[in-house]
Amino acid sequence: MVSSGRPDTAEQWRGYLAEYSADFLRAADADRLAGLGSERRASGWLGFAGAGPDALAAVEERLGTPLPPGYRAFLQASDGWLEMGPFVWTMRTTADVGWVRDLEPDLCDEDDEDYELMARALLVSADADACYWLLDPADVNGNGEWAAYVWASWYPGLGDRFVSFADLVAAEREEFEELNARDGRAIEPAGAAELVAEGRLMALRGDAAGAAERFESAARKGSGAGQYLSVVLAAFRQPDVHHRIRNDVLGHPHVIEAVGAGRVRAELVPLFLKRESGAWARRLVEQALGDSGDAPVSPEPSDFTASLDRARELARSGDTDTAWSVVAAAVPHWRSDDPLGIAPLTLLTDPELSSLVTPQRAAWIVTTSRSATH
CB 217, CB 226: distance < 8 Å: yes
Residue 372 pLDDT exceeds 50: no
Q: How many CA atoms lie within 13 A of 284 on its CB side?
A: 19
Residue-wise pLDDT for 54-112, tens only, equals 999 999 999 999 999 999 999 999 999 998 877 898 999 999 999 999 999 999 988 88
Nearest to 81 by CA among 47, 39, 55: 47
Residue-wise pLDDT for 31-52, tens only, equals 777 778 777 777 888 999 999 9
**CA dihedral for 30, 33, 39, 42, sign (positive or negative):** negative
CB 228, CB 259: distance < 8 Å: yes
Q: Which amino acid is residue 106, in one-letter code?
A: D
The fraction of the chain above a pLDDT of 90, given in percent, is 60
CATH class, range 10-177: alpha beta
Residue 228 pLDDT exceeds 60: yes
The C-alpha torsion from 239 through 243 and 244 to 248, rounded to 10°, is 170
205 phi/psi in degrees, rounded to 5:
-80, -5
Q: What is the mean pLDDT of residues 208-222?
A: 89
Q: Which amino acid is residue 327, in one-letter code?
A: V
The fraction of the chain above a pLDDT of 70, given in percent, is 92
To 5 degrees, how large is the angle CA 297–CA 307–CA 357? 80
Residue 1 pLDDT exceeds 60: no
CB 242, CB 271: distance < 8 Å: yes
Burial (CB < 10 A; 0-12, 13-18, 19+), residue 39, is exposed
Whole-angstrom Cα distance, residue 144 to residue 62? Answer: 19
- Residues near 159 by Cβ (< 8 Å), separated by ≥ 6? 149, 150, 151, 152
Nearest to 108 by CA among 118, 122, 99, 98: 118
In three-state secondary structure terms, 13 is helix
Overall residue count recorded for the chain in this entry: 374
DSSP at 331: G
For the ranges 24-28, 111-115, 258-262, 348-352, which has the lowest average pLDDT? Answer: 24-28
Q: What is the mean pLDDT of residues 323-352?
A: 94
User: Residue 42, Cβ neighbours under 10 Å: how many?
Assistant: 10
CB 331, CB 302: distance < 8 Å: no
For the ranges 24-33, 63-72, 127-136, 143-152, which has the lowest average pLDDT? Answer: 24-33
DSSP 96-163: T-EEHHHH-GGG--TTSTTHHHHHHPEE-B-SBSSEEEEEEEEEE-TTSPEEEEEEETTSSSB---BS
pLDDT of 292 reads 59
CB 223, CB 195: distance < 8 Å: yes
